[in-house]
Amino acid sequence: MQGLASDKGLLVPETIPTFPAGAPEIWRGLSFEDLAFEIMSLYIPREEVEEDALRDIIKRSYSTFRDSDVTPVKSITDDMHVMELFHGPTFAFKDVALQFLGNLFEHLLKQRPGQTITVVGATSGDTGSSAIHGLRGKKGVDCFILYPDGRTSRRQELQMISILDENIHSVALGGTFDDCQAIVKACFNDHPFRDAHSLAAVNSINWARILAQQVYYVHSYLKVTQAPAPGAPAPKVSFSVPTGNFGDILAGYYAKAMGLPIDQLIVATNSNDILHRFFSDADYSVNSGGVAATISPSMDIQVSSNFERFLCHMTGDDTAEMHKLMSGFEETTKLQPSEALVAACRKEMVSARVTDEEILETIRDVHARTSDSYTLDPHSAIGVAAARKIGKTAGVPMVCLACAHWAKFPDANQAALGEQTSSALVVPEPLASLHTLPTRVKNLPNSVDEIQSFIKKTLAARNA
């Protein structure tokens, strides 16, 4: 539950498990829920969560999704597919992990009578609403979500501030997402504050989120491939992943490391391209110009927290080297990786940067070329555009991760398709009615002290 380790680092598995003999083929035909149980069981020991309890947590988590397949796969060309990750309560991919995490937190707290936790998280848009919907009404949990004021889409903001449960506290911060994330890390690194309020994480610094996301890589693999003939090699699949904080594609790396036959993992970035610069030029440095505001706001970040986990594995879990690397980055805002480390990373992933204009062109093109006028949101379009830039291996299906429903970002679709076409698109009722709901939000400055003071006062009032 804690997220950050006591030494400021991130928690990683001591060992990455491997698939059992015959997997993933032996899992063909399983429901998403049953597949989730098989994969999560490789990491979660029975003494932590019993089998029946884990099955119940999974069942309750995914019963909230609108599609029985949870993360269905749609074809946009013969060998290019989109995996729709937006069928949860908030129409964003983070529901897959955060519905699970909310129920997992509740289960663990039931095993510890009297214990409470305080969730503190940062969001560039989707994490916050997904966390809030996953944790609303949960006993023993108070949830504080920081988001950059004016830098999310209006529907993303309304999904957060329209939840009025007493344990939910939305904070509009005067700053960027990186500022929000820095404050969250500062709270976790303030050990007296962390311990006094039993802080828990919902950002992808919480490894349980990465665990839940591994499931849909395997699920989609089984959807777009056929069982091989006896003696034939397992078919491969490539994935193009819109990437901001690196959590989603890290889950793909773990799936590959466990045994999923992945050909390519494509890191797809927007103009905030620190990850693309690393893979292309070995340059992982903070842009002095700050975060660029784009039409894909959920990816508007400078520092990708989960990249640290990937680097750790690429060093062979050399914690001394990681301490040196990350301490240097914290001091200079520029990573100094060895040539060997960069080469190891490039063996696992490739990258592409996608501009706003390329996003709009991709939305237009896919809408025009598909028989059902398929509509991408701007983040999902980055995945498709990056896949086209990189190119695919002949005969290997390409799965592009569709992170959010287009209706969460109507301005981008209007810019891409024109007002007449975009206005004819049907907005799902839960999103269309958001503007009619009452709201509650706390506006605060970019200050660790102000945030900690608000948390202390709110918890004191709640517990009075």
Residue 246 is given by DSSP the state: S
Reported as type and span, the H/E element at residue 266 is strand 262-269
Q: Which of 273, 320, 316 is nearest to 292 (CA)?
A: 273
| The two three-digit tokens of residue 16, written as one number | 């990455």
Name the residue among 267, 266, 272, 268 with its Cα closest to residue 294.
272
Rounded Cα–Cα distance for residues 259 and 24 (Å): 8
Tell whether the torsion through CA atoms of 343, 345, 348 and 350 is positive or negative: negative
Strands 262-269 and 117-122: unpaired
What tokens were used for 32?
Answer: 């998403």
β-partners of residue 101 are none
Residue 420: which H helix or E strand, with range?
helix 419-424
Please give the full DSSP string across 127-170, using - where no structure is assigned.
Answer: HHHHHHHHHTT-TTEEEEEEEETT-S-HHHHHHHHT---TTEEE
Out of 8, 94, 110, 389, pick the active-site residue.
94
Known catalytic membership, residue 347: no
Fill in the amino acid letter for 320: A
**Catalytic residue set:** 94
